């Protein structure tokens, strides 16, 4: 297997991706503290610019606190659609350039360059890829080149923004040693706190703890952590896979019990992702509706259906599932809908259920949505009150 | 009660009707054959409460009587017994003792009075048709029957009787087959839906020859008689969808292709399509037909092109290849004609040559491509 030989893996990470996209769309934001996320009190910071980070703001922080820390920050409500578009753009550039890559999130990629060093030089090749991405998409990106995924990811995070670094084979442990354990992926708040209490602060100390002790302390994740601290990571770069589900959910500004509003939201959300499904030429075979009550108790219900992407079937199923799910007289905090069992394909027209008029109508609606934006033409039930 | 019967002949008769018996039945007695001797004639009956099949054979016996014998064990034993006369001895507790040259076998039978009664053929209308006509009709339509129990009307074949013709229609809402026989005269305009299982049984039990069948029906049941073999089944009590309105009458574009070539091309290309949708796109322009399938999840792709005759505007239309392959399998001619209009309207497939007295029309709905 390849794992026994020296590998060359580059981790690419788009710098403050959401913010970068917003800056491209509105250059006035450049150099200003920018927060992406819902502006309401319940929103969280999805991403923030480096200027905002100076104030101590970080992603996943509640918007309320972020605003307190930096009152003049510009808050932009995220536009996932635009981000996906730019992410796809970058994915396409990488796809066209490298032999094997993994898209691990919307803004992160692992590229396996093993075997290319002889011909191109991995450092040089990665540097050119970085330049190419910036030139073609306008988005700054950082990369770390190392012998495995773990080291390359840690290294990328260290050199951000707009940086590049190579950790030569054999130097993994030395590189990790002085870093804080919190920088290792997989070390969350709880684990970090536990280890800090034990006096373990740097990766060096962690790597010198006997593996058995780590096993006793944290179980399986303890040994995993120990291996990470020693710079060992054999996970392969898994080729890019299509997403396995399409979903959306909505946390309301205020918990609600207004059934008309809930139904309307459900219709709006379902219609939105059903359109997305059709645009991707996909069919779904399973629909899941999710509901969270104000006490955070969360319930889901799903139904397997014959493969479809037609609004009338999906909407009907979603409404039925919601009706079955919503059985308590309690305020609702969130509803969500998810399509799984996705397969590529198009809707099989039915002889008796579909009329030529309805088929034409669907095609017309979709072409209007495609041309003028998907929010322009929606079902009246799903329209928000102004 | 006592009788003597040929082992191979008995097995042959049992196998004709054993398909009726379900593997897991609600009533244990439904796992049995009913043996009914009436004047040197042995009637054997099997039922699943929906369908009843009966065959008759000659036996040597001195007395009349009835008994129920478990089907599986009887057939399993007969399969392993060389052809010879077997004597059956049944005592008053319905214990069955079978004596062969090799030895004796015992099996516990059941009280024949508990066996479900056959439906009575009253208030029926009757007509006749040839065995081969019915077998062909079943072969031409059964594959298109739906298995969606939520729409019971489509889980059977629709028999549409007219004075001068008999039509068989099957659909699963995505495709439809209409097979018409003009050599059958029905007593009056009428219609009923026959479930899939009895038709499958008939297809296997009936000979593909000119033997005359007598077909009777009333509001609940269908009775098909071929000599001493009879099948009775319950009809599906539902309204068949109004299929006539969905058959397009004005498809302007005609595509004529070699049937075998088209079917083979579809078989090859569809291997590379998604396994759930079997989606194959047809691109037709001038005298060329392109077939394309892909599964983006696995990066599979199949493309072929073949010659055709086509007189319409260039067209891209996608179908479930499985549907097309099955339909082409039914078309009994060297070439087929596909009538098309727009990419979202039904395509009609017809053999270019049809047999005397028969008319086949097949219809398939496309998959809706994003334009």
CATH number of the CATH domain containing B207? 3.10.150.10
- Phi, psi (deg, nearest 5) at residue A15: -70, 135
Question: Roughly what angle, to the nearest 10 degrees, separates helices B321-330 and B259-270?
Answer: 150
Q: In the predicted model, what is the mean pLDDT of residues B194-198?
A: 95
Backbone angles phi, psi at B58, to 5 degrees: -85, 140
pLDDT of residue A3: 47
The pLDDT assigned to A4 comes to 55
Predicted confidence (pLDDT) at residue B279 exceeds the cutoff of 80: yes
Element (DSSP H or E) covering residue A149: helix A149-159
C-alpha–C-alpha distance, residues A81 and A77, integer Å: 12
Q: Do B274 and A344 touch (CB under 8 A)?
A: yes
What mean pLDDT comes out for the span B341-358?
A: 91
Q: What's the longest Cα–Cα distance across chain B?
A: 79
Which among B246, B346, B370 is the nearest to A281, CB-wise?
Answer: B370
Measure A241 CA to nearest chain B CA, in Å. 8
Please list every residue in chain A whose beta carbon sits closer than 8 Å to the beta carbon of residue B371: 363, 367
- The secondary structure element, H or E, covering residue B103 is none
Residue B222 lies in a domain: yes
The answer, yes or no, to whether residue B262 has pLDDT greater than 70, is: yes
Q: Within a 10 A sphere around the Cβ of A90, how many other Cβ atoms?
A: 21
- B97 and B156 part of one domain: no
Q: Clarify whether residues B82 and B64 are in a common domain.
A: yes
- Inter-chain touch B277–A278, beta carbons under 8 Å: no
Q: With b meaning 16 or more CB within 10 Å and e meaning fewer, what string describes A21-52?
A: bbbeeeeebeeebbbbbbeeeebbbbbbbebb
* Residue A12 touches chain B, beta carbons under 8 Å: no
Spatial neighbors of A370 by CB under 8 A, at least 6 apart, are A279
Search chain A and give the residue with CA nearest B320: A348
Contact of A348 with chain B, judged by CB distance below 8 Å, is answered with yes
Q: Which chain B residue has its CA at the smallest distance from A278's CA? A: B370
Tally the C-alpha atoms within 13 A of residue B59's C-alpha that lie toward its C-beta. 30
Decide if A346 and B320 are in contact by the 8 Å CB cutoff: no
Structure confidence at residue A385 (pLDDT): 66
Q: Which residues contact B236 (CB under 8 A, 6 or more apart)?
A: B152, B153, B155, B156, B193, B194, B195
Query: What chain B residue is nearest to A241 in terms of C-alpha separation?
Result: B297
Q: Which residues in chain B touch residue A360, judged by CB atoms under 8 angstroms apart?
A: 344
User: At A130, is the secondary structure helix, strand, or coil?
Assistant: helix
Spatial separation of the C-alpha atoms in residues A81 and A97, rounded to whole Å: 25
Of B171, B174, B296, the CB nearest to A344: B296
* pLDDT (mean) for B322-342: 93
pLDDT band at residue B210 under the 50/70/90 scheme: very high
Strand-pair partners of B224: B215, B231
Within the 273-332 window of chain A, which residues sit less than 8 Å (CB to CB) from chain B?
Answer: 278-279, 281, 283, 285, 307
B193, B220, B244: which is the final residue of a domain?
B244
CA distances from A360 to A174, A357, A365, B121, B343 (A): 65, 5, 9, 50, 11
Predicted local confidence at residue B133, as pLDDT: 93
- Burial of residue A386, with CB atoms counted within 10 A of its CB: 0-12 exposed, 13-18 middle, 19 or more buried: exposed
Instruction: Give percent helix, percent strand, percent coil of chain B, each to the nearest 5.
Output: 25, 40, 35
Express each pLDDT in B59-76 by its tens digit: 999 889 999 999 999 999
Percent share of chain B, pLDDT over 90 = 83
Residue B305 pLDDT > 50, yes or no? yes
- Nearest CB to B365; choose among A278, A307, A348: A348
Judged by a CB distance cut-off of 8 A, whether residue A366 touches chain B is yes
- Beta-carbon count within 10 A of B211 CB: 12
Structure tokens at A319: 């409404």
**In-domain check, residue B282:** yes
Q: What contacts 24+ positions apart, CB below 8 Å, involve B116-121?
A: B116/B27, B116/B29, B116/B30, B116/B47, B116/B49, B116/B52, B118/B45, B118/B47, B118/B52, B118/B54, B118/B232, B119/B52, B119/B220, B119/B221, B119/B232, B119/B234, B121/B216, B121/B218, B121/B221, B121/B223, B121/B232
Mean pLDDT throughout B33-38? 94
Q: Does residue A75 register a pLDDT over 90?
A: no
The answer on B261 and B347 residing in a single domain is yes
B158, B276, B320: which to substitute to probe chain A, counting the most A Cβ within 10 Å? B276
pLDDT for A169 equals: 84
CB contact under 8 A, A307 and B241: no
Interface test with B, best of A348, A356, A358, A361 (most B CBs within 10 A): A348
* Distance in angstroms (rounded) separating the CA atoms of residues B165 and B96: 49
Q: Helices (DSSP H) in chain B: which residue ranges?
A: 7-17, 71-79, 131-141, 196-205, 259-270, 321-330
The chain-wide mean pLDDT, for chain A, equals 86
Instruction: Report chain B residues whose CB lies below 8 A from the CB of A367.
Output: 371
Whether B322 has its CB under 8 Å from any CB of chain A: the answer is: no
Dist CA A327 CA B288 (whole Å): 59
pLDDT bracket for residue A217 (50, 70, 90)? confident
In the CATH scheme, what is the homologous superfamily, with its name and number, of domain A174-229? 5' to 3' exonuclease, C-terminal subdomain (1.10.150.20)
Pick among A285, A352, A364, A368 to test the B interface (most B CBs inside 10 A) = A352
**Which chain B residues are within 8 Å of A359, Cβ to Cβ?**
344, 368
Same domain, B68 and B24: yes
For residue B270, pLDDT beyond 90 = yes
Each domain of chain A, given as residue ranges in start order, spans 1-169, 174-229, 246-382
A220, with CB counted inside 10 A (0-12, 13-18, 19+), is: exposed
Residue found by looking up tokens 């088209």 in the block: B262
Nearest-neighbour CA in chain A from B166: distance (Å): 23
Buried b (16+ CB within 10 A) or exposed e, B287-326: eebbbbbbbeeeeeebebeeebebeeeebebbbbbbbbbb
Cβ–Cβ gap B370/A351 under 8 Å? no
Interface membership of B24 toward A (CB under 8 Å): no
Residues of A in Cβ contact (< 8 Å) with B344 = 349, 356, 359-360, 363
Last residue of a domain, one of B114, B134, B157: B114
Give per-residue pLDDT as tens, B225-259: 999 899 999 999 999 999 999 999 989 999 999 99
Query: With an 8 Å Cβ cutoff, are B277 and A352 in contact?
Result: no
C-alpha to C-alpha distance for A207 and B94, rounded to whole angstroms: 82
- Whether residue B129 is found in the same domain as residue B236: yes
Three-state SS for B152?
helix
- Domain membership flag for residue B15: yes
Residue A1's pLDDT is what?
A: 40
Q: How far is A81 from B127, CA to CA, in rounded Å? A: 66
The verdict on residue B271 lying in a domain is yes
Chain A residues touching residue B319 (CB < 8 angstroms): none
* Residue tagged active-site, from A6, A22, A102, A108: A108
Q: Is B261 in the same domain as B217?
A: no
* Interchain proximity A343–B176, CB inside 8 Å: no
Residue A162: how many other CB atoms lie within 10 Å: 11
Minimal Cβ distance to A349: which of B276, B296, B344? B344
For residues A125 and A292, what is the distance between their CA atoms, to the nearest angstrom? 48
Q: Which pairing describes strands A74-76 and A34-37: parallel, antiparallel, or unpaired?
A: parallel
A288 has pLDDT over 90: yes
Interface check B175 vs A, CB under 8 A: yes
| pLDDT, position A386 | 59
Do B52 and B45 meet the contact criterion of CB atoms below 8 Å apart? yes
Q: Contact at 8 Å (CB) between A140 and A51?
A: no
Q: How many CB atoms lie within 10 A of CB B364?
A: 23
What confidence tier does A2 reach under pLDDT thresholds 50, 70, 90?
Answer: very low
For residue B288, give its domain range. Answer: 248-364
CA atoms of B66 and B118, how far apart (whole Å): 15
Q: What is the pLDDT of residue A240?
A: 65
**What was the pLDDT predicted at B58?**
92
Q: Where are the alpha helices (DSSP H) in B68-219?
A: 71-79, 131-141, 196-205
- B60 and B25 fall within a common domain: yes
Q: What letter does residue B117 receive in the DSSP assignment?
A: P
Q: B208 CA to chain A: closest CA distance, Å? A: 33
Q: Is B120 inside a domain boundary?
A: no
Q: What is the pLDDT of residue B370?
A: 78
Taking residues A33-55, report their average pLDDT: 84
CA distance B279 to chain A (A): 7
Q: Is residue B180 part of a domain?
A: yes
- Token pair belonging to A136: 């073609």
| Closest residue by Cα to residue A4 from A243, A236, A253, A212 | A236
B282 vs A297: CA distance, rounded Å: 50
Distance (Å, rounded) from C-alpha B255 to C-alpha A38?
A: 56
Told to judge if A108 belongs to the known catalytic residues of this protein, a careful annotator would answer yes
pLDDT, position B253: 94
Q: CB neighbours of A83 closer than 8 A, spacing ≥ 6?
A: A17, A18, A21, A106
Question: Number of A:B CB contacts under 8 A?
Answer: 75
What is the reported pLDDT for B129? 94
The Cα–Cα gap between A61 and A42 comes to 10
pLDDT score, position B306: 94
What secondary structure, in 3-state letters, does B220-277 show? CEEEEEECCEEEEEECCCCCCCCHHHHCCCCCCEEEEEEHHHHHHHHHHHHCCCCCCC
Task: State yes or no: A233 annotated in a binding site.
Answer: no
Instruction: Count up the domains in chain B and report the number.
Output: 3
Q: Given pLDDT bands bounded at 50, 70 and 90, which one contains residue B371? A: low
B39 and B137 inside one domain: no
> For A118-174, how does the pLDDT look when each residue is reduced to its tens digit (9 = 90+)?
777 888 888 888 899 899 888 899 999 888 888 899 889 888 888 888 888 888 888
pLDDT in tens, B74-126: 999 999 999 999 999 999 999 999 999 989 999 999 999 999 998 988 889 99
Is residue B366 pLDDT above 70, yes or no?
A: yes
The reply to whether residue A349 touches residue B367, judged by beta carbons under 8 angstroms, is yes
**Which two tokens mark A121?**
């030089």
- Measured distance CA(A217)–CA(A210) in Å, rounded: 11
Residues of chain B neighbouring A353 (CB-CB closer than 8 A): 173
CB B344 to CB A346 under 8 A? Answer: no
From the list A346, A304, A305, A298, the residue with the least C-alpha distance to A326 is A298
Residue with tokens 């009333």: B218
Could you tell me if B26 lies within 8 Å of chain A, comparing CB atoms?
Answer: no
Q: Is A375 assigned to a binding site?
A: no
* Domain contains B119: no
Query: CATH for A1-169?
Result: 3.30.70.270
Q: What percent of chain A has pLDDT over 90?
A: 18
Smallest Cβ–Cβ distance between A346 and the set B294, B296, B368 belongs to: B368
Cβ-defined contact of B277 to A343 (cutoff 8 Å): yes
Could you tell me if residue B202 is inside a domain?
Answer: yes
Which chain A residues contact residue B274 at CB under 8 A? 343-345
Given CATH 3.30.1490.100, say whether it is the number of domain A246-382.
yes
Contacts B250 to A, Cβ<8 Å: none
Q: Span A49-55, mean pLDDT?
A: 88
Minimal Cβ distance to B369: which of A346, A360, A362: A346
Alpha carbon distances (Å) from A16 to A188, A275, B241:
21, 29, 58
Q: A359 to chain B: nearest residue by CA?
A: B344
| Residue that finishes a domain, picked among B204, B227, B244 | B244
Tell me which residues of chain B, numbers 98 to 157, contact chain A at a CB-CB cutoff of 8 Å. none
Instruction: Tell me the mean pLDDT in the region A20-37.
Output: 87
């Amino acid at each position: 297997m390849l794992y026994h030989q020296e590998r060359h893996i580059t981790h690419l990470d788009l710098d403050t991706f959401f913010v970068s996209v917003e800056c491209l769309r509105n250059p006035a934001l450049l150099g200003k503290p920018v927060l992406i996320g819902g502006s309401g009190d319940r929103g969280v910071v999805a991403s923030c610019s480096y200027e905002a980070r100076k104030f101590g703001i970080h992603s996943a922080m509640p918007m309320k606190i972020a605003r307190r820390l930096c009152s003049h920050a510009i808050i932009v409500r995220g536009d996932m659609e635009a981000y996906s578009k730019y992410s796809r753009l970058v994915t396409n550039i990488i796809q066209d350039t490298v032999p094997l890559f993994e898209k691990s999130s919307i803004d992160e990629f692992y590229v396996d360059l093993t075997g290319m060093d002889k011909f191109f030089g991995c450092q040089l090749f990665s540097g050119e890829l970085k330049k190419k991405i910036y030139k073609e998409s306008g988005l700054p990106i950082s990369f770390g080149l190392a012998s495995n995924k773990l080291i390359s990811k840690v290294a990328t995070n260290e050199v951000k923004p707009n940086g590049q670094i190579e950790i030569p084979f054999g130097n993994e442990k030395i590189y990790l040693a002085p870093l804080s354990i919190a920088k290792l992926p997989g070390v969350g708040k709880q684990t970090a706190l536990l280890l800090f209490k034990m006096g373990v602060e740097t990766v060096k100390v962690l790597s010198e703890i006997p593996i058995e002790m780590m096993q006793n302390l944290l179980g399986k994740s303890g040994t995993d952590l120990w291996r990470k601290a020693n710079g060992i990571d054999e996970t392969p770069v898994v080729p890019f896979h299509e997403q396995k589900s399409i979903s959306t959910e909505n946390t309301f500004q205020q918990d609600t019990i207004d059934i008309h509003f809930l139904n309307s939201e459900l219709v709006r959300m379902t219609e939105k992702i059903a359109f997305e499904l059709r645009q991707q030429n996909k069919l779904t075979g399973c629909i899941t509706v999710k509901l969270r009550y104000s006490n955070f108790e969360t319930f889901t219900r799903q139904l397997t259906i014959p493969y479809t992407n037609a609004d009338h079937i999906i909407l009907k199923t979603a409404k039925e599932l919601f009706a079955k799910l919503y059985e308590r007289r309690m305020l609702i905090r969130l509803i969500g809908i998810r399509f799984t069992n996705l397969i590529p394909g198009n809707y099989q027209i039915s002889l008796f259920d579909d009329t030529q008029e309805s088929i034409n109508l669907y095609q017309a609606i979709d072409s209007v949505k495609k041309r003028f934006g998907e929010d322009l033409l929606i079902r009246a039930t799903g329209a928000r009150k102004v | 009660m006592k009788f003597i019967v040929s082992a191979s002949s008995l097995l042959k008769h049992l196998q004709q009707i054993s398909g009726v018996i379900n593997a897991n039945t609600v009533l244990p007695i439904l796992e049995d054959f009913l043996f009914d001797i009436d004047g040197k004639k042995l009637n054997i009956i099997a039922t699943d409460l929906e369908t009843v099949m009966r065959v008759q054979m000659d036996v040597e016996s001195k007395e009349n009587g009835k008994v129920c014998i478990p089907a599986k064990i009887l057939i399993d034993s007969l399969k392993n017994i060389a052809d010879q006369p077997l004597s059956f001895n049944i005592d008053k507790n319905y214990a069955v003792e079978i004596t062969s040259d090799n030895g004796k076998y015992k099996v516990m039978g059941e009280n024949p009075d508990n066996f479900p009664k056959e439906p009575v053929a009253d208030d029926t209308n009757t007509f006749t048709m040839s065995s081969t006509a019915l077998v062909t009709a079943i072969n031409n339509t059964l594959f298109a029957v739906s298995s969606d129990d939520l729409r019971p009307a489509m889980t059977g074949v629709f028999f549409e009787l007219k004075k001068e013709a008999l039509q068989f229609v099957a659909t699963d809402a995505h495709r439809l087959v209409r097979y018409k026989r003009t050599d059958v005269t029905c007593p009056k305009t009428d219609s009923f839906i026959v479930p899939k299982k009895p038709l499958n049984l008939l297809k296997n039990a009936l000979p593909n020859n000119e033997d005359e069948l007598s077909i009777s029906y009333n509001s609940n049941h269908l009775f098909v008689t071929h000599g001493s073999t009879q099948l009775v089944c319950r009809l599906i009590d539902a309204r068949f969808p109004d299929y006539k309105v969905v058959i397009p009458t004005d498809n302007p574009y005609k595509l004529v292709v070699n049937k075998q070539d088209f079917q083979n091309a579809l078989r090859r290309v569809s291997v590379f399509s998604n396994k759930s949708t079997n989606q194959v796109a047809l691109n037709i322009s001038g005298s060329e037909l392109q077939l394309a399938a892909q599964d983006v999840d696995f990066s599979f792709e199949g493309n072929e092109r073949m010659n055709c005759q086509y007189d319409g505007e260039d067209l891209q239309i996608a179908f479930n290849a499985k549907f097309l392959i099955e339909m082409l399998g039914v078309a009994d001619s060297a070439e087929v004609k596909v009538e098309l209009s727009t990419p979202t309207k039904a395509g009609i497939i017809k053999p270019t040559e049809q047999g005397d007295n028969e008319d086949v029309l097949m219809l398939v709905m496309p998959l809706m491509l994003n334009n």
